[in-house]
Amino acid sequence: MARSQALRDALRVKPGSRIHLERMDADATFGHDKESSVAATLHQMERLRSLQDRMWAEAKHSVLVVLQGIDAAGKDGTIAKVMEAFNPQGCPVTSFKVPTPEELGHDFLWRVHRHTPRKGEVGIFNRSHYEDVLVVRVHDLVPKNVWRARYDQIVAFEDHLTANGTTVLKFFLYIDKDEQRERFQARYDDPTKHWKFALGDLEERKRWNDYIAAYEDALSKTSTKSAPWYVIPANHKWFRNVAVASILEATLDELDPKYPPGEDLPENLVID
């Protein structure tokens, strides 16, 4: 538990601090090795199953997990490997794509708030409201004064969620540019993964530095005590998994969910 807490502290973006991603090591494993980490993740997933089951039954708390990362960082893989611990009945996954005309007719948080988890649920956002200070900034889709104002609006939105019983966990999966190239190449070389690769990904890759700058601002300006960001070195998928699972387990454990008491039942009941 002490090692898990140390890892959690090391990966958390401290409120008010300035993040410089290029100074971070996407290969870092903080002393963990693959064999023991894979075993630890399996154990953590068993704990997560139990914790989520109690959360669902109690229907008192909700948890929102935000997954962000540059293309090929492993958002889908994290959902497949870690979030499979959760019963889908209580774990909705929402992927945010290009806004629809209806969504564009509302404020940028409207489509997001509709998908926040209900009490008892662990909700997963694969991309999120942060696209509105990332993609829109990099592609100059809205004026600078508009996206800059959104940092404070996002903080206020997440404060509102936490004040109303939702625990917000935000994971930025950090891979370096070389790792992204290798993952893109692997997708291109494997016919079963062509569906995950598009030439447009290469155009986005040319904007790597712009995206890194946008992420640095987002992480620095919106990591708060109640809704912290965790920067997960994600070049090694096994470390990504154990780190995310460890933080999830510790967070749900702190909520201390309990099965609610049942109704008073007669003794020696025999059901025909």
Calculate the CA dihedral of residues 188, 70, 250, 222 and round it to 10 degrees.
-170
Q: Is residue 270 one of the residues assigned to a domain?
A: no
Domain residues for the domain of 183 are 2-255
Q: How far apart are CA 105 and CA 111, in angstroms?
A: 10
Q: Edge-to-edge strands of the sheet including 122-126?
A: 93-95, 122-126, 62-69, 166-174, 229-233
What is the pLDDT, as a whole number, of residue 4? 74
What is the pLDDT, as a whole number, of residue 76? 95
Q: Is residue 171 one of the residues assigned to a domain?
A: yes
What is the pLDDT, as a whole number, of residue 79? 95
Helix or strand run (H / E) with residue 184: helix 177-189
Q: Which of 177, 162, 164 is nearest to 222 (CA)?
A: 162
Q: Is residue 82 one of the residues assigned to a domain?
A: yes
Helix or strand run (H / E) with residue 56: helix 34-58
Pairing, β 122-126 against β 229-233: unpaired
Give the gyration radius of the chain's Cα atoms: 20
What is the pLDDT, as a whole number, of residue 2? 62
Domain holding 177: CATH number? Answer: 3.40.50.300
What is the pLDDT, as a whole number, of residue 78? 96
Q: Is residue 35 one of the residues assigned to a domain?
A: yes
Q: Is residue 140 one of the residues assigned to a domain?
A: yes
Q: Is residue 262 one of the residues assigned to a domain?
A: no
0.85 exceeded by pTM: yes
Q: Is residue 272 one of the residues assigned to a domain?
A: no
Write out the chain's pLDDT in tens, 272 residues: 566 788 999 999 999 999 999 999 999 999 999 999 999 999 999 999 999 999 999 999 999 999 999 999 999 999 999 888 999 999 999 999 999 999 999 999 999 999 999 999 999 999 999 999 999 999 999 999 999 999 999 999 999 999 999 999 999 999 999 999 999 999 999 999 999 999 999 999 999 999 999 999 999 999 999 999 999 999 999 999 999 999 999 999 999 999 998 788 888 888 88
Q: What's the number of domains the chain is made of?
A: 1
What is the pLDDT, as a whole number, of residue 75? 96
> Is 166:117 a contact under the CB 8 Å cutoff?
yes
Q: Is residue 260 one of the residues assigned to a domain?
A: no
